[in-house]
Amino acid sequence: MLMQNAGLTFEARAADIDERRIEAGLEGAAPDEVALTLAAAKAMEVSNHFPDAIVIGSDQTMSLGKRVYHKPKSRQEAKENLLSLSGKTHRLNSAIALARGGDVLWEHVSHADLTVRALSEDYVDHYLDRVGEAVFSSVGAYQLEGEGIQLFSRIDGDYFTILGLPMLPLLEKLRQLGAIRG
């Protein structure tokens, strides 16, 4: 949606990679390094099938200190994750990699720091009841563009980074490569 709204012409292809296996090989790596590695792996895998195209791979990790979060698999896990963020500031690490012909042309990672207000168990249950299955589609169990905004007291970072695709650096690099008009 972000690229479409920016007027880009593109074809979406899912990368056939095992993210958890790749991540397991990165034990001890910083969360932004994990995001960059996964973004590059996605771009490279698709680039192998479309060698003449500029392929955009992206990934986002969410971290609180050394803990890296993943999409919750159950309502209970979503609740536990939200309560663990209560009153704390976590970081979203949004990475992009561009590849062509099996080579990575460029990598970038942007950060956003989000402070969750103090949450009660009762409020988290209410929130989870209202948003339903949507909590399973996001690593933080929230969508900032929806009711998830009510979870926060402060946000530092650009909107596109929070949504998982830092558009301004991406568009600048695509202009530099001549892939879009500048």
**What does the pLDDT read at residue 139?**
87
**What does the pLDDT read at residue 66?**
82
129 labelled catalytic: no
Question: Considering 18, 32, 59, 103, which one is annotated as catalytic?
Answer: 59
Measured distance CA(126)–CA(141) in Å, rounded: 13
Outline where DSSP puts E strands in 5-116.
55-64, 67-69, 89-100, 103-116
pTM: 0.87
Digit-by-digit pLDDT tens for the chain (182 residues) are 888 889 888 889 999 999 989 988 998 899 999 999 999 999 999 999 999 999 999 999 999 988 889 899 999 999 999 999 999 999 999 999 999 998 999 999 999 999 999 999 999 999 999 999 999 998 889 988 889 999 999 999 998 999 889 999 999 999 999 998 88
Residues in the chain: 182
Q: Which residue has the tokens 């969360």?
A: 31
| Domains identified in the chain and CATH numbers | 2-176 (3.90.950.10)
Measured distance CA(127)–CA(43) in Å, rounded: 35
